[in-house]
Amino acid sequence: VLSILRSIEEDASPDMPSTTLPPIIRREFAYSFEDSQDAFEKAVCTALEELGHDTSKEIKGGEENSRDINSGRLRKVVLARRAELHLGAETSGLDIIKKLRFGGHVGHLFYCSPGIGESEFFGCTPERLFKVEGDKGKVVSEALAGTRQRGSSAEADAELLRDLITSSKDREENIITGEYISNVLKQLRVEGLLVD
């Protein structure tokens, strides 16, 4: 597993110049801009129904549902929107990652090609998902939950920080995220794929 993680880390962080990407000729979204809020709220209600939550209550910024998640089989739900970009020529996800990396993009990029058909999975996160350190292959994760936009001043940033660190919802999400990562690494040890 460590050799696979190292190769993923090296492939996603190559020291080479950016590539030229073909133009985007068509964009397809799983929703329209007009109904995106309605689609989002329907998705939240569907997820909450799976959790056994009463969706007749008003949804308020996700705060209300976080307490109910712990009673169901899911502990955290993260909704995302999907977009398909059709390019003017064939390219790979790795070429796009290279372009982002050398184009001044801020964040931690990731790329995975499981070798099934032509599937590729890539993206960018504000935190490093994992890093393999040292000769002993220590795996470090900085995955976290809860973010805030930057403020327009140092004072605004300080207020946003206070809001973030005092939020019970964000604290609970960080605990869930940490427990999930810990459990995955423990399972890899049980299977003999990682050693202490």
Domain boundaries, the chain: 23-90
Is residue 100 within 8 A of residue 21, CB to CB? The reply is no
Q: In whole angstroms, what is the distance from residue 122 CA to residue 7 CA?
A: 15
**Residue among 33, 110, 105, 43 at smallest CA distance from 77:** 43
Per-residue pLDDT of the chain (196 residues; tens, 9 = 90+): 667 666 666 655 544 444 567 777 777 776 555 566 677 777 777 877 776 655 454 444 444 444 444 455 667 777 666 777 788 888 888 888 887 777 666 778 888 887 766 778 888 887 888 888 888 778 888 877 777 888 899 999 999 989 988 998 888 888 888 888 888 888 988 988 777 6
